[in-house]
Structure 1
Amino acid sequence: MLTNRINLMAMLIGLIVMGCGSPEATNSLPTPTNSITTTKAVSSSPTISASPKVSAETTMIKEIAVGDIKEIDDSSICGKSQVTYAYGETSNYRVYICADASAPERPRYYISRNKDGSGGLDLEAMNYNPKKSGKIEFKNDGYIYTLEASTTQNPEPVLRVTFPNGKLSEEKLLRYLDRSGSSNTTTTIAPNVEPLQYVLDNRENLKVCKDTFRAEDVNSGMGSKVFQISDKKYLVQIQCFLAAYQGNFEYVLWIDDAPKPRAIPLEFDSFQEGKNGEKPKRTTDRSIAGVPRFNVRSQTLTNFTKFRGIGDCASSAVYKLDGDRMVLQEFRA
Structure 2
Amino acid sequence: MLIFSIFYYKKNILFLFFILVSQGLFGCENKFLTQLNNYANVSSLNSVDIIKNITEDNDLNLCNTDNFLLSEDNANVYELSKTEYVVEVFCFVGAYQGSYQFLFYDANQVEHQISGLSFTVFEETGNGLQIIETSLLTGSVEFDPEMMLLMVDRKARGLGDCGSYGVYRWENNSFVLAEYRYKGECDGVYIPVEDYPLIYP
Equivalent pairs, count: 138
Q: Indicate yes or no: 2:145 matched with 1:290.
A: no
Give 1:195 deviation, angstroms. 1.8
Stretches of structure 1 that go unaligned for 5 or more consecutive residues are 1-189
Which residue is equivalent to 1:259?
110
Give 1:274 deviation, angstroms. 3.5
Which residue is equivalent to 1:208?
62
What is the distance in 1 between the residues matched to 2:147 and 2:51?
22
TM (norm. structure 1) is 0.38
Which residue is equivalent to 1:198?
53
Give 1:235 deviation, angstroms. 0.3
What is the distance in 2 between the residues matched to 1:199 and 1:216?
8
CA contact (8 A) 2:84 2:108 kept: no
Structure 2 counterpart of 1:236, from 67, 82, 87: 87
CA contact (8 A) 2:167 2:179 kept: yes
Listed one character per residue, the Cα deviations across residues 210-240 of structure 1 (whole Å, up to 9, x for unaligned) are 2286549972xxx311000011000011111
Which residue is equivalent to 1:165?
none
Q: Indicate yes or no: 2:130 matched with 1:281.
A: yes
CA contact (8 A) 1:233 1:256 kept: yes
Q: 1:283 to 1:297 in 2, by over 3 A?
A: same
Secondary structure in structure 1 of the residue aligned to 2:162: strand
Which residue is equivalent to 1:317?
166
CA contact (8 A) 1:218 1:241 kept: no
Stretches of structure 2 that go unaligned for 5 or more consecutive residues are 1-44, 183-201
**Percent identical across equivalent pairs?**
24
What is the distance in 2 between the residues matched to 1:245 and 1:286?
20
CA contact (8 A) 1:316 1:331 kept: yes
Which residue is equivalent to 1:301?
150
Alignment of 1:123-202 (within 5 A): 192-202=47-57
The amino acid that maps onto 1:210 is: N
Alignment of 1:94-113 (within 5 A): none
What is the distance in 2 between the residues matched to 1:192 and 1:311?
33
CA contact (8 A) 1:217 1:241 kept: no
What is the distance in 1 between the residues matched to 2:155 and 2:72?
20
State which structure, 1 or 2, has the greater radius of gyration over its C-alpha atoms. Answer: 2
What is the distance in 2 between the residues matched to 1:217 and 1:198?
11
Give 1:329 deviation, angstroms. 0.8
Q: Indicate yes or no: 2:101 matched with 1:225.
A: no
Listed one character per residue, the Cα deviations across residues 249-286 of structure 1 (whole Å, up to 9, x for unaligned) are 101100103321011110011101241xx341101100
Q: 1:234 to 1:216 in 2, by over 3 A?
A: closer
CA contact (8 A) 1:217 1:242 kept: no
